A and B are shown apart, each in its own frame.
Chain A
Amino acid sequence: NAGVMQNPRHLVRRRGQEARLRCSPMKGHSHVYWYRQLPEEGLKFMVYLQKENIIDESGMPKERFSAEFPKEGPSILRIQQVVRGDSAAYFCASSGTNEKLFFGSGTQLSVL
């Protein structure tokens, strides 16, 4: 079984550009979670989605950030007009039965 797949592994953007991070959950999983980890800091919850629904977005910044998990295809975390402070590792996790969350290897976003 393939694990949670995130791509790209590394993403470099200039200030003001858009960043799109993709997450393909494990087969059969319909719950996706996004987390952000700033350098030398802990993992911060951002958003929890089920297919076509946002369940909990209490950790999402109010502006520039959005997430979706369409009926078909991967979950997307979109950051518009990136700033240097968005530079971080972004991790996606998925679950099926809502017992264990399985995490991907992350996308390292660098904003120049």
Chain B
Amino acid sequence: DAKTTQPTSMDCAEGRAANLPCNHSTISGNEYVYWYRQIHSQGPQYIIHGLKNNETNEMASLIITEDRKSSTLILPHATLRDTAVYYCIVRVEYDKIIFGKGTRLHILP
């Protein structure tokens, strides 16, 4: 079973920042927080991951709370192409990824 809780769906206006929350209250000290997305029926795409510190790359930013029990994925300037299902995952190294139901993000023109 997935160890994360995410809203079922969210809307965001094009050009605005999309903030996707995730709860992972039972996360262990050696588990990373990963974010993937799946656009329509394509293969999942890696976005970002982190352990304790906030992370930023060319796609997004990841904010992890100090107690590590929740995190937020931020897409700074959402476009229509960011419409997808976003998955928040906790995972130790050398292990499989277990996908939950994710958040269906709709970017509105």
Contacts and interface: CB of A to CB of B under 8 A. Distances in A.
A110 B93 CA distance: 34
A101 B97 contact: yes
A59 to B, nearest CB: 8
A89 B41 contact: yes
A91 B93 contact: no
Contacts of B102: 42
Contacts of B99: 35, 42-45
A48 interface: yes
Interface residues of A, number: 22
Contacts of A63: none
Interface in A25-41: 33, 35
Nearest to B99: A43
A105 interface: yes
B97 A45 contact: yes
Interface of A: 4, 33, 35, 42-45, 48, 56, 89, 91, 93, 98-106, 108
A102 B46 contact: yes
Given A89-B41, A105-B43, 13 more contacts: A4-B43, A33-B97, A44-B99, A45-B97, A45-B98, A45-B99, A56-B96, A91-B44, A93-B44, A93-B97, A100-B49, A101-B97, A106-B41
A98 B93 contact: yes
B15 to A, nearest CB: 28
Contacts of B100: 42
Interface in B91-105: 93-102
A101 B45 CA distance: 9
A91 B43 contact: yes
Contact of A42 (B32, B45, B101): B101
Contacts of B30: none
B98 A103 contact: no
Residue with the highest number of chain A CB atoms closer than 10 Å, among B41, B44, B46, B101: B44
Most buried by B among A33, A42, A91, A100: A42
Contacts of B44: 43, 91, 93, 103
